[in-house]
Amino acid sequence: MVNPQDASPSPLTTARQLAGAWWSRAAVAALGLAALAGCDSGKQRDIFGAQGPSAEISAWMYNYIFWMMVVIFVIVAAIFTYAVFRFREKENDDGAMPKQTHGNLKAEIAWTIVPTFIVIGIMVPTVTSIDKLMDINHMAGLAEGEFVDPNQVVYVEVIGKQWWWEYDYRAFNGLKDPEAGTTDPANWTHEHMFSTANELHVPAGVPVYLNITSADVIHAFWVPRLFGKRDATPGRQYPLYFMAREPGVYYGQCAELCGESHALMAIKVFVHPTEGPDSYDKWVESQKQPAAAPVGALAEQGKELFISKGCIACHSVRGDERTEINYASRSRTTGPDLTHVGSRTTIAAITMPNTKENLTHWIWKPGEVKGNAIMAQERYNPTKVTEEEAAAIASYLIRLK
Ligand code: HEC
Ligand SMILES: [Cu+2]
């Protein structure tokens, strides 16, 4: 007699329960994926929405290898399925060991040669693609033997810092022959260099040369629709060439875990038309200007606080000796250049829209916005401002268009 208490559940029930669990898990996963897909509604960080030669080469490589793998998968799965059915245990099977074979020369040769060709089939386009990515003439869409005019290349130095990006437009009009005479920092003035943060501006249809480095740890610069990842490594300079075809706004992200606020280290690229009121040249002209003088009592007070509260230890505002960057020693570059901070659409590496309220919040309590940011750390920034002082400084900074 079996005690019902001891009876093990029937295998069928267990399988049903498992199936139930499996289905509910799949449903949760599907919902999660749908939610994630919703995040990217504008396809803003989508490698398949390539916009320009650099990202197109990467997307092409991805598709090429993907379809190659699909073909290999289908062949292997077909052979496997055939073998499973063809050689399964038959009803009248005598249970004896099948015939064992060893060392089939034809099979050995086949499975050495086929993978060799697969590897060559991946290697050749990979090497040619890397070669194209590292060739600014190719980025500019030129034929073999044609070369871009170095003065028509936009050259920007990109410096990764915890947790934001500095862009130095060390150039005449932001256009520069990197070999031409302004590389000596002692010769730099704001005529030769302006600096922005996080929001990169480039013209459409013009090749761009980014020289990428880091001031602290390893970061990686990545704007999926425009180009693949490039490491930003301290003490090294890595070139990255790209060209954006269409004017527009493109988003990116630091792609190398670089510490606590790595996730709050985003990138926004504005691609300007080459002509018209919104042209790249107009943007460059406005950025080259020194900062506007404060207007109104509150903004004036804000500027004085900006100096007396020690903000100038890390930030520069060009156009006044008391706040201006020293180009030779590169002092006042720990934090973003704020000469035209009011012209940015966001602050703190795309973390918040650039409004007076958000600026006040950031200046008053940066640690609430970005954990462990240098500006929030007591040991680097011992001077605390009150909410009123922060509001005064914000009303000064927001007008620096
Ligand atoms: C110890 C250096 C340091 C000091 C002092 C400092 N900051 Fe900052 N500040 C930074 C750094 C670094 C960032 C970049 C933060 C980030 O996005 O991760 C920053 C960002 C900012 C930004 C946002 C800029 C942008 O484009 O995103 C503003 C505005 C700002 N600081 C204002 C101030 C004001 C006002 C003071 C004085 C009350 C001040 N800072 C003091 C280092 C400093
Ligand atoms: Cu980073």
The CA distances from residue 60 to 23, 38, 50, 268, in Å, are: 36, 25, 10, 24
118 and 137 part of one domain: yes
| Whether residue 269 sits in one domain with residue 190 | yes
The closest alpha carbon to 43, from 31, 54, 53, 55, belongs to 55
Residue 24 lies in a domain: no
CATH code of 316's domain: 1.10.760.10
342 and 387 in a single domain? The answer is: yes
The per-residue pLDDT for 58 is: 94
pLDDT of 61? 95
Note the Cα 93 to chain centre separation in Å: 61
| 364 and 270 within one domain | no
Closest by Cα among 265, 249, 296, 313 to 391: 296
Q: Give me the number of domains the chain comprises.
A: 2
Dmax (CA) for the chain in angstroms is: 100
Which pLDDT score is estimated for 205?
A: 93
Report the mean per-residue pLDDT for the chain. 85
**Tens-digit pLDDT profile for residues 206-225:** 999 999 999 999 999 999 99
Report the C-alpha gap between 153 and 134 in whole angstroms.
15
Distance 292 CA to ligand 1 centre (A): 19
Judged by DSSP in three states, 227 sits in strand
State yes or no: pLDDT of 373 exceeds 80: yes
pLDDT at position 215, please?
Answer: 95
pLDDT in tens, 83-115: 999 988 888 888 888 888 888 899 999 999 999
Q: Is 332 part of any domain?
A: yes
Q: Which of 195, 301, 315 to mutate to test the pocket of ligand 1 (most atoms within 8 A of CB)?
A: 315
Tokens of 204: 């459409």
What pLDDT shows up at residue 310?
A: 92
Q: Which of 55, 197, 237, 222 is nearest to 139 (CA)?
A: 55
Domain limits for position 388: 297-397
Q: Once rounded to an integer, what is the mean pLDDT over residues 313-341?
A: 87
Pocket lining for ligand 1, CB < 6 angstroms: 163-164, 197-198, 306, 309-311, 313-315, 334-336, 338, 341, 344, 347-349, 359, 362-363, 370, 373-375, 380-381, 385, 393, 397
Q: Say if strands 238-242 and 346-347 run parallel, antiparallel, or are unpaired.
A: unpaired
* Residues β-bridged to residue 210: 156, 240
Last residue of a domain, one of 234, 260, 288: 288
Domain identity same for 282 and 316? no
CA distances from 303 to 177, 324, 394 (A): 36, 13, 9
What's the CATH number where 136 sits? 2.60.40.420
Q: Which tokens go with 186?
A: 């002692």
Are 291 and 339 a contacting pair, CB within 8 Å? yes
Q: Give nearest CA residue, ligand 1 atom 25.
A: 347
